Amino acid sequence: MSDRSSNSTHRPPTAREARGSSRRRGRRARFTLLRLLLWVVLAVLGLGIGVTAGIAVSLWHSVPPLDQIVFNPDLSTILYDRNGQEITRLYRENRVWLPIREMPASIQHAIVAVEDARFYQHHGFDPIAIARALVANVRSRGIVQGGGTITQQLARNAFLTHERTLSRKLREVIWAVQIERRYSKSEILERYLNEIYFGNGAYGVEAASQLYFGHSARTLSLPEAALLAAIPRGPAIYDPYNHPDAALERRNFVLRRMAETGFITPQQMEAAQSVPLELTARRTRPQTQAPAFVDYVISTLLDQGFTEADLWASGLKIYTTLDLSYQRAAQQALDASLPDGGVDSQGVLQPQGAVVTLDARTGAILAMVGGRSQPPGSSTVANQFNRAVYAYRQPGSAMKPFVYLAALDHGFTPASIVVDAPVRYPMGDGTYWEPQNDDHRFRGPITLRDALAGSVNVVAVKLLDQVGVGTAMEYARRMGITTLVDRGHPNDMNLSFTLGGLTKGVSPLEMASAYNTLANRGTYMRPYAVVAVVDRRGNTLYEGRPQPRVVLKEETAYLMTSMMEDVISRGTGRAAAIGRPAAGKTGTTSDNTNAWFVGFTPDVTTAVWVGNDQQAKPLVFHGRAYGSPLAAAIWGAYMKQALAGQPVSDFRKPPRLVEGVLIDTRNGLLGGPGTPPAFRRYEVFVAGTEPTRYAGDAFQTPQQPQVTPSVPQSPSPGMPTPASSDGPTPESPADASPPQAVTSPPSSASGETFDGATIPTASSSRPSATASTAAGSVYL
């Protein structure tokens, strides 16, 4: 008996019993692990709650007392010029306070229904709404709902920032609770409806109602109230002018929410939803001292991530680069000099113009005039288009400096000779292009300095043919021109490039920035308009800084500047003379539709453009044709006034220059006792490029073959081939004898490198491009 008992007690467990025992041990292990994880989660939650509570307590003590929670709806954004003078205030006048007792119930109910349905039940923040939003966001794995209340929105807009941080959100809740303690629900709703942004510069329901419907908010209909309530969630997205379909859909959603919350009946909802959008015409902004510049600043800051609400509603201080004294002088010179061509079909006075001035050393925009002032009572549409930035027009001969720069970097000097004589280029369709000078004269051999001063077209075309269109185009791009086209059809890869025959054209701002590279001794400075943006608490939100990029050798920039000084002193830009060192270039299209002068002093660079808004219409008024002399005169009048009283400075010379080299302008060689006074000139060279041989007393005419170059840069059929209308060179005798010798041909180096990029070098092995003589090469 005892033996059996002992055997039954110690028998091994069956397989079933073993499996059960294993499961029990597994359950105990999992329970232990779950209990451990639970403690970890509770510890983390406790720590998080503790930290959050600590932050909340700290933030609670930072909230001002109830009597100091006062709303200030007059928080305009102010723009200042570089001297601290106020330029304008953004929409300070576009807010009209309306007491809530004068607001119809429809707008109050619409806002509450769509923004905070439990507004009258909570005490500043709504835990139920927060939980509901949390669940919805978890389910959608994204942010699809928010739990903020009307009071929280009011706190954020009036007292806080829009940064997305936990501390800001906690501060928002604390402020909302304090606001609810300080104000009644009616007072909170009143302030909210007068503070909120409704798009297009309108703040508060009264300004919004006047803007969109042309009447007071006191008489809002139900569909109108629902539309206004639809906009604040996304003023740009639900803009009824720009996005009417989205605005209509959102309005009908508001009406549906009003019915769901019991503010209106289903029948009222359906009747209101059937009403189409009925808006008054969009109105323009109030004019400012510098409307084009202000619009440019706004566009710049929107690109930097600021919102419309930031710029028009948060009380920012925007410190800009504008100099109001320059701005007023530019506007005055433009208005006083343009002829009266009458108003066009849009009611805009023609011709129009634009002026841009940059600080030569930093690229800061000192003045920006987007159009001429309009007479009282005329259409204001002219000020809606900023021609200084967005008018892409043909530049005429103002493109020539880019070609000359390429030549100077590839073996040419200011004394190099090019023969101004007839030339033909095949068009590819069996026809030929024969570039012409404005006066239809040919001057024979001429130095590059004289050719640029007189804006001789044939020389510029031959020069481009020699250095290559791609090379010259790369110089223009490196100096800030972004609109050039080198692919597809049509494109700018043709010889009319040097005469301004471009596919898209250029803007005054980019032309000013490109020429400013010369004023800044070869360093390109990207134009900028904003120095700093500061919020109402003194925090700097944005800073604009100069962005330099070296794109030219300093010696090349100086030589080009020296040659362009002659454009003003004795060439086509004499109307721009201001009695101090200045350089520039004229530009006029052959059909007189665009007139330019872009010039610079050691301190500032200014581009002036004149033309009709309808580009096909020439600048001919009362029987008189206008061209670049008009633009040059505007430049001169403006610069004299703007620079009056400022010290006179000269262009700084780089060290590797050789000055005072006497040359013979008939051949570019060293001048001697036998050189007639009319052909004697003291020239400047980069060291090592000056001539070393004397011209001598005797000249013989070299045999010059008739050459018709066949080159890939020839104009394509149908491409624009404008001729400059800037005029002849005053000091280039047409009957001068051809020379026996000229300077060396362009270098065949592989390229020049600036800022990590290589500018290609034109080949010197162009067939039929030169005629050899005993003394050297004559460029045809």
CA distance 247 to 232: 11
Which residue among the candidates 76, 397, 590, 732 is catalytic per the annotation? 397
CB 398 within 8 A of CB 587: yes
Give the chain's length: 780
545 Cβ contact partners less than 8 Å away, ≥ 6 residues apart: 528
Backbone CA torsion sign across 511, 337, 359, 518: positive
Whose structure tokens read 């250095």? 467
Please compute, for residue 54, the number of CA atoms within 13 A of its CA located in the half-sphere on the CB side.
Answer: 6
Assigned token pair, 133: 């939003």
CA distance 165 to 660: 67
- Which of 260, 459, 293 is closest to 371 using CA atoms? 293
Backbone angles phi, psi at 561, to 5 degrees: -60, -45
CB 645 within 8 A of CB 637: no
- Check whether the bond before 291 is cis (ω within 30° of 0): no
Alpha helix segments (H runs only) across 375-484:
387-390, 400-408, 448-453, 457-467, 469-478
Please indicate whether residue 270 is annotated as part of the active site: no
CB 372 within 8 A of CB 332: no
Please indicate whether residue 58 is annotated as part of the active site: no
Determine the residue type at 232: P
Which residue among the candidates 106, 115, 507, 731 is catalytic per the annotation? 115
Query: How many angstroms separate the most distant Cα atoms in the chain?
Result: 151
- Check whether the bond before 677 is cis (ω within 30° of 0): no
| C-alpha separations of 224 from 101, 228, 254 in Å | 18, 6, 11
CB 229 within 8 A of CB 190: no
CA distance 133 to 9: 63
User: Which residues carry out catalysis?
Assistant: 115, 397
